[in-house]
Structure 1
Amino acid sequence: MSLEPTRKSPSSDEDDSLLDADLLAIFGDTPDEDQDVSQPAPADEPAEDTEALPSFDEDTDEGVQPESLDESDPLDEFEPFSDLPDETPPAEPLQVPEQPEAIPVGDSPKVEPPRKRTDEDNYRVYLLKNLSSAHTAACIEEKLRKLTGISDAVVVYATQQLRFLADDPDARLDQIRRICMSIDPSVELVPLSHAPRNRQEFHKPGQMRGLIAGVAFLILGALAQFFLPQIPLVPMFILCLSYVILGGDILLSALGTIKNGRVFDANVLLSLATLGVIAMGAYVEAALVMLIYRLGMWFEQRTVAKHRRHILSAVDMRPEVVHRIDNQGVVHTIPAAEAQVGDLLLIRPGDRIPLDGIVRAGQSRLDTSPITGSAAPMAVAPNTPIVSGCINGTGALQLEVTHALPDALVTRILEAVETAAADSSQMERRFLRFSRIYTPIIVLLAVLTALIPSFITGDWARWVHTGLTFLVVSYPGALILSVPLALFSGIGAGAEHGILFRGGSVLESLKDIRTIVLEQYSTLSRGKLEVQSVAPVPGMNESALLSMAASCELNADHAFARCIRMAAQERNMQVVPPSRVQEIPGQGIVAMISGVTVLCGHRSLLETAHVDLSGYIPAESGTDVLVAAGGRFAGVLHIAEAVKPGIKTTMKRLRALGLTTVLMTASSSEQAEALAAQLDIQEVQAGVSPDERDTVLEETERAHGAALYVSDSASSAAAVTAVMGSSAPSALQAADLVFLTSDPQAICHAFDLSYLSLRAARQNIILALVVKLIILLLGFAGVAWLWLAVLLDTLATVLCLQNALRVLRPKN
């Protein structure tokens, strides 16, 4: 198939001149007969405050062509568009020339150079195998932060990661390893590159076997105590054995913690409480407390691991293997980590693109929805840059790697989510400080409760037991775990929908936002032109008008021409190739179509030809392409940048949230005001250049409050910066919020996730504190059962975990 549209040769009955004499007199000499000249894009028409041209009903079929007019005086009268002359060749369907490069139908992310971290050489990330609890993670972090030479250290229980910055990080690994083992002997440092893809493997060996054995001895000891009261040493020995089996690692951890100078530790406090009741002869209660505590820890680990896998599996698109083509053309399957920049990979139909690169052979269409959220495919051909994570269509491709696995987009997205989990929100930091005050206060209360009432009443057994019960609830474990987990749930839920938060602090910051500043060309529009409306004059239908415009623009190669041709193609228009075409620089095209002189372009083109435009009403925004045939005005095509679907719904929702919406654009005030009115945006900042952007943002924040700025680039002037569009993948390290999806409703979704996450965190705080208060009140009321206190505290932790998980599964 030829890539060039078919051209009609001049008929012997036609005049040898290209156009009629009247137009020659107006526009000057014509080019050579065989020369085709393409029209430049029409200039924007100044906006006027007038009503839009009313629509007209179509009264003829699609594909009707203009009738040949009397060539002796072609501009005298306007004839109906029907009954083509016999010499007109059969109409051909519109053929859009194929492009040597990909035609991006959807949003395609840009391929950026590899990113570099700050202090990259001194930054390390390790996985902590067998990390048992959030409490252990907090202890390790606090200890590492005090080491000389370590600038920063963060331990994230949700992702089992240790991230630290040090002067000489590799030389400090042994010291870090010793600190981890002193707090929990089972913890191991695992290099990130050696970590299993399935984190569910991280559990303590033999943990379940020990739990079962401890339960068996507990039951046996309780039976022995009931049936053999006359031999107290037998049940005591069995129950103590059960206690050691169930709580031995807790006791060892407590000893290590005391050695390191930490007394207000969960394991230390629980060990003291259980050893105290053993001293009072309550062996069953001590073993039962350890059992409940171990069951709670097991359930906590299982829930957090499931939570972690659910989140990370949704964003972990890293490939296990790739198919590399060697110099002889042989395909080898190798681990993805071994692929290097410059390697040639085979991408089979249906495969996920494994690494960022450039297509060197083959054509296909990619599903970019895993990266951009857009359902529209992206056509690719040789020399097209593509990013990892997209899914190949039906064509095989050969891809030259430009970014190895550590720098590929799929790795950067996963790292963005894991790094976000390490970012502490103000709420987390507040309750971490609160725990440092709360625990000593409750421990002091436990000591006073054990001593003062005992001296007064003489009932030492009751009040010492009550004091030991208070020790159990003196550590706010549910708060330390559930608050960051609720925020991590929000981060994970956002990542599943193409919304990447830089951390829990961003989720928390969204609650203070009062203004949404939207940059026009990245958030509101699709980045391509569209024929928004076709408005013919009475006596003309839309099909005929669009067909004539597409015929004039058939050989042109500018944006407006492609837009008109695409509109005709989408309507299955039959387009007659023009026999003659002449460009009028800066104004438009004059063409001979089936013997009729057609003018297509700017208003000035028709005015120069003395066409009566009294029926023309300019649009308030965008660009009008006017069409005249036979010297009479035929109608206008209104072309504007395509607005993303769902914008008006998004604006309505944002206003319902009490937010002020502001449009920021470099366009003129008239065009910006028209667009704002169309989309129901409250305020306009027009004519803003890139140099003025930060100043305008600061003024907007002073006028309306903290702002969320949504654009295609980050800015430090706004309280929260969000990046949306094809440049979003390159902004993972710079922006507070990154929208990999192009759907503007993701902005509302981000606010929803902020609300849900913070609500879950607040509910967890209230639940944990209420349960602890109930335990304290029960103790003062005489119900001082240690096992009941541990059970209630464990149930509170479990409920907080489940409540945090609800953020991943919102009802609406």
Structure 2
Amino acid sequence: MNDPINEPIILRIHGMDCAEEVSLLKRELIPLIGDQDRLGFDLLNGKLTVDTSSLDISRADVLTAVERSGLKSEPWRGGSAAGEDQTFWQLHQRSILTAVSGLFGLAGLIWQLTFAGESESVPWASIALYCIGILAGLLMVLPKAWRSLISFRPDMNLLMSVAVVGAVLIGEWFEGATVAFLFSLSLLLESWSVGRARRAIASLMDLSPPTAHFRDETGEVRDVAPAEVTVGSTVVVRPGEKIPLDGRVISGTSGVNQAPITGESVPVEKELGDEVFAGTINGDGLLEIETTKAADDTTLARIIKMVGDAGSKRAPSEKWVEKFAAVYTPAVMIVALLMLLIPPLAFDGAWSVWLYRSLVLLVIACPCALVISTPVSVVAALAAAARNGVLIKGGVFIELPAQLKAIAMDKTGTLTQGAPAVVDVVPMNGHDEAELLMRAGALELNSNHPLARAIVDEAKRRNIELVAADNFETIQGKGAAGVINGKAFWLGSHRYLEQRGQETPEVHEQLESMQEAGRTVVVVGNEEHVCGFITLADAIRKETRDAIRQLHEAGVEHLVMLTGDNEGTAKAIAKQAGIDEVHAELLPEDKVAAVERLVEKYGYVAMIGDGVNDAPALARASLGLAMGAAGSDAAIETADIALMSDDLSKLPWLIHHSRRTLKIIRQNIVFSLALKVLFVILTFAGFASLWAAIAADMGASLLVIANGLRLLRR
């Protein structure tokens, strides 16, 4: 009896860099664990995750199954990149063997042309050179082909091996060597394409500096590893350095390049109290930062983890191609066998001619280009999105934005900036704006209330000097009062003004109008009269209107606001933004119900939000999107996609990026299948040769790879 294990088994698989190795592993592991969903494949890092919870399976059983696939494994050690612990031969054997195969095949041809003369027989020296070229080309293929044969599950390795062996048996040494070399070259190209996408993400994520300038309790600054810095510590970041940990600025001002994390194209000015991210680059100023997250919990660390996990979540197109290839490959073997047998037996055809044509059919029918067309495109699309500040948590989510019919949006922090700001200053009874702001600021100077901070910030922005009021007192739930320059003043809400009995019909009408427009009103007065009022609102993001317009232009039929805020405020913001429908004063469960109704009506629906209360609705939507920079951890973890710059304009970009990805995937699939059909027709007509077939297949592989990698362009 095996000892069942509850922790998932995580292995590094050497040589797992294309869909072919994934298929080999699935072939051995699915019968063992019984469920494909228990397997996770990360091609970018060569990582295999096997969920064995509640199964009577040991680690040894899993390792044995991996060994049967012909691949080598070792325990996963987090942090090291794929290939980091491999020897020179393990890293470069495919390239070396491909080069040897090509060189010896070419040498065999040169010897044959030089010394064979007019003789039709191939010289023994040429045969020896061809054999070396064939063995080098098939060295990494034959073990997989053998396992495919004995398990009665034909794959492209078996197709190519049979074609090469068949060519040798009928004396076509050069064509056999050419097929072996070109197939090896096509596998090398596939490996290179995944490697390029891997390097694109690795360079994107290799951002965190190796040391942090830590200020200890004595005030001394010393260099330590970021992992040694605890939350709440002080870190010094010098001009031009990378910021080692997430934190909050406690001293200094500087422009910070946040492009690696948020995709913002220009540096963002950071000052006292502003948040900064690990991996971003400090500008010309010296910053002191109070750390808010440990090294393994920074925004950058979460991005790295999410990108790593993305490889195991495959797109629908990938799943379709894999299912198609599973049926297609054995069908091709049967057709090739029938082509070999029926013409000679039924129509007295020449065995050598139809054997050759059946071999050509095997070669051209190899689904190599078809199988690699989708994963290469998906990986490139994920890397390009990450580079633009859009974190997509797997290929399964790259295709969904292209199909969206409706989008539900939270208001606060999504459509708006998430913090109140002064909109209007309305002085009355002989007072001016500066005087009104000075008195309000004096009363609010020591308050931490968001409205108070907004008023103080506005006064400072206008260079109004503030001195805290004397005899300050808070009027619970109503406002505040104090003495300024020897005279009593008060500050409060519209309701407090009514309670004081100082409201006039004119003031009442103005305040009602402001509140209906979705603004919060703070009234300032003294014992004699109302000095004026200040209106505040959660200002709409500057990019919101354009983003909403672009979403409509992109074909999104319906845009809905779901908010817990009051109806007046919600309608005012929706009108400014151009939202089609508004639902206000909602609890989290009400947002879920609203999303469910949208899903029933439109099918594909996205929800975008930033708060903990948005997480249930994000999970219920067809596609959940989080505002990643200021969003809560719960929203980011629940969402399928995170906009790391809190920039709504990334949403229409994402829809167009998704459609471009789907377009390229479809181009690759159609091109691969059309080429197969063309060569099958030529084969039956007797116009195709082995070397031309493999050259066409390799050319198709190269073209679909190049087409997919176009997604990496900026």
Which residue of 520, 533, 556 maps to 1:623?
520
Instruction: Tell me whether 1:131 sits opposite 2:19 in the alignment.
Output: no
Deviations 1:358-411 (A, max 9, x none): 99x977779483445676455567xx9976445567446586796453x55433
Is 1:302 the equivalent of 2:206?
no
- Structure 1 residue 717: deviation in Å? 2.8
The residue aligned with 2:406 is 515
Identity of aligned residues (%): 24
Q: In structure 1, list runs of 5 or more residues that go unmatched.
A: 1-118
Q: Structure 2 counterpart of 1:430, which letter?
A: W
Partner residue in 1 for 2:136: 245
Q: Equivalents in 1 of 2:14, 2:21: separation in Å?
A: 12
Q: What is the identity, as a one-letter code, of the residue corresponding to 1:763?
A: Q
Q: Partner residue of 1:685?
A: 583
Separation of aligned partners in 1, 2:446 and 2:40: 61
1:161 aligns to what?
47
Alignment partner of 1:644 is 2:541: yes
Q: Distance in 2 between matches of 1:169 and 1:320?
A: 41
Matches for 1:739-754 after TM superposition, within 5 Å = 739-754=643-658
Using the size of structure 1 for normalisation, the TM-score is: 0.74
Task: Please name the residue that 1:142 is paired with.
Answer: 27
1:214 to 101, 106, 120: 101
| Distance across 1 between alignment mates of 2:639 and 2:138 | 46
> Which segment drifts farther, 396-405 or 284-293?
396-405
**Are positions 1:786 and 2:690 aligned together?**
yes
- Paired position in structure 2 for 1:193: 78
Q: Which residue in 1 is equivalent to 2:550?
A: 653
Change (3 A) 1:729 1:559: closer
What displacement does 1:163 show? Answer: 1.6
The equivalent position to 1:228 in structure 2, one of 102, 115, 118, is 115
- Structure 1 residues 660-669 or 176-185, which shifts more? 176-185
Superposition map of 1:424-435 within 5 A: 424-435=314-325
The letter of the residue matching 1:616 is: Q
Q: What is the alpha-carbon distance in structure 2 between the residues aligned to residue 693 and residue 731 of structure 1?
A: 14
Question: Which residue number corresponds to residue 699 of structure 1?
Answer: 597
Paired with 1:579 and 1:154, the residues of 2 have a C-alpha distance of: 65
Q: Note if contact 2:310-2:392 (Cα within 8 Å) is conserved in structure 1.
A: yes
In 2, the alpha carbon distance for the partners of 1:790 and 1:197 equals 30
| 1:761 to 1:380, Cα distance in 2 relative to 1, 3 A | same
Q: Which amino acid aligns with 1:269?
A: L
Aligned to 2:502: 609
The 1:376/1:275 distance shift into structure 2, 3 A limit, reads: same
Alignment gaps of 5+ in structure 2: none
The CA distance in 1 between the partners of 2:189 and 2:478, in whole Å, is: 74
**Partner amino acid for 2:391?**
L
**Higher mean C-alpha deviation, range 137-146 or range 587-596:** 587-596
SS for the counterpart of 1:616 is helix
Q: 1:24 aligns to what?
A: none
- Superposed, 1:454-465 pairs within 5 Å as 454-455=344-345, 456-465=347-356
Q: Structure 1, residues 70-101: CA drift from partner, whole Å, max 9, x if none?
A: xxxxxxxxxxxxxxxxxxxxxxxxxxxxxxxx
What amino acid is aligned across from residue 192 of structure 1 in structure 2? Answer: R
Per-residue deviation at 1:327? 8.9
Please give the secondary structure, in 2, of the residue aligned with 1:192.
coil
Report the Cα distance in structure 1 between the residues aligned to 2:307 and 2:481, rounded to whole angstroms.
57
Structure label with greater radius of gyration = 1
* Distance change (3 Å), C-alpha of 1:584 and 1:255: closer
Match of 1:279 among 146, 169, 172: 169
CA contact (8 A) 2:402 2:656 kept: no
- Separation (CA, whole Å) in 1 of partners of 2:153 and 2:602: 49
Aligned alpha-carbon RMSD (Å):
4.0
Which protein has the bigger helix share? 2
Q: How does 1:295-694 map to 2 (within 5 A)?
A: 295-321=185-211, 339=228, 346-350=235-239, 351-355=241-245, 367=256, 369=258, 370-371=260-261, 376-377=268-269, 379=271, 388-391=278-281, 394-395=285-286, 397=288, 403=294, 405=296, 407-455=297-345, 456-535=347-426, 546=437, 549-550=440-441, 553-554=444-445, 558-573=449-464, 601-603=492-494, 605=497, 608-609=501-502, 613=506, 616=510, 618-619=513-514, 620-626=517-523, 636-656=533-553, 657-694=555-592
What is the one-letter code of the residue matched to 2:106?
I
Counterpart code for 1:469: V
Deviations 1:113-172 (A, max 9, x none): xxxxxx995123333223354212221233122225888223343442212122599995
Equivalent pairs, count: 685
Report the equivalent of 1:56: none
The 1:169/1:266 distance shift into structure 2, 3 A limit, reads: same
* C-alpha spacing 1:724/1:427, structure 2 compared with 1 (3 Å): same
Matched residue of 1:249: which SS?
coil
Partner of 1:162, secondary structure, is strand
Residue 677 of structure 1 and its aligned partner are, at CA, apart by 1.1
Pairwise CA distance, 1:223: 2.2
The TM-score, its normalising length taken from structure 2, stands at: 0.84
Aligned to 2:638, the other structure's residue is in SS state coil
Deviations 1:262-293 (A, max 9, x none): 44121211011011111111111111112222
Q: Check 1:292–1:122 CA distance in 2 against 1; reply closer, same or farther (3 A cut).
A: same
Distance 2:287 2:300 in 1: 21
Q: What is the identity, as a one-letter code, of the residue corresponding to 2:52? A: A
How far did residue 648 of structure 1 move?
A: 0.8
Indicate conservation of the 8 Å contact 2:17/2:46, yes or no: no
Work out the CA distance in 2 between the residues paired with 1:326 and 1:771.
67
Secondary structure of the corresponding residue to residue 147 of structure 1: helix
The farther-off stretch of 789-798 and 173-182 is 173-182
Q: Is the 8 A contact 1:122 1:168 kept in 2?
A: no
Alpha carbons 2:245, 2:291 under 8 Å: kept: no
What is the distance in 2 between the residues matched to 1:204 and 1:255? 24
SS at match of 2:561: strand
* Residue 627 (structure 2) aligns with: 724
Return the offset for 1:347.
4.2
Change (3 A) 1:356 1:752: same
Q: Answer whether contact 1:724 1:741 (CA < 8 A) is retained.
A: yes
Indicate the residue corresponding to 1:70 in structure 2.
none
